Structure 1
Amino acid sequence: MNQNEFDMIIDRFLDGAARVRAKKYESNLTSKNVHRQLSSRIISQMWNKENTDCNAA
């Protein structure tokens, strides 16, 4: 194996590792965004229900 082949293998290895890290970060970020949206919806629904209950009383 010459130096050129070795450099090409190392470059592919590092590119693959970068893709794995990017996907891991992206999936974590997506998960946090979905959680944030769902929790804000639940809180607003609870607030609306509480508000209507207070108005009814």
Structure 2
Amino acid sequence: MRTDNYRHWTPDLDGQLMDGIASGLSIEKSGARLGLTKGSAIGRFNRIKQQMGWQAT
């Protein structure tokens, strides 16, 4: 049986990730502060960047 450790992304969690990055943290460190893996933080950043375009960087 699979245990569901999946954490759903919320606008608040997206904002916290992006705020950390905007303050100069790496994507990995910003995600780690939120209890996320490197892969999940990078993946989410890339999806946000695709949606927002240049404004995300």
Whether TM exceeds 0.5 here: the answer is no
User: Max radius of gyration: which structure?
Assistant: 1
Looking at both structures, which has the greater relative contact order when contacts are Cα pairs under 8 Å and sequence separation is at least 6?
A: 2
| Larger helix proportion of the pair | 1
TM-score by length of 1: 0.30
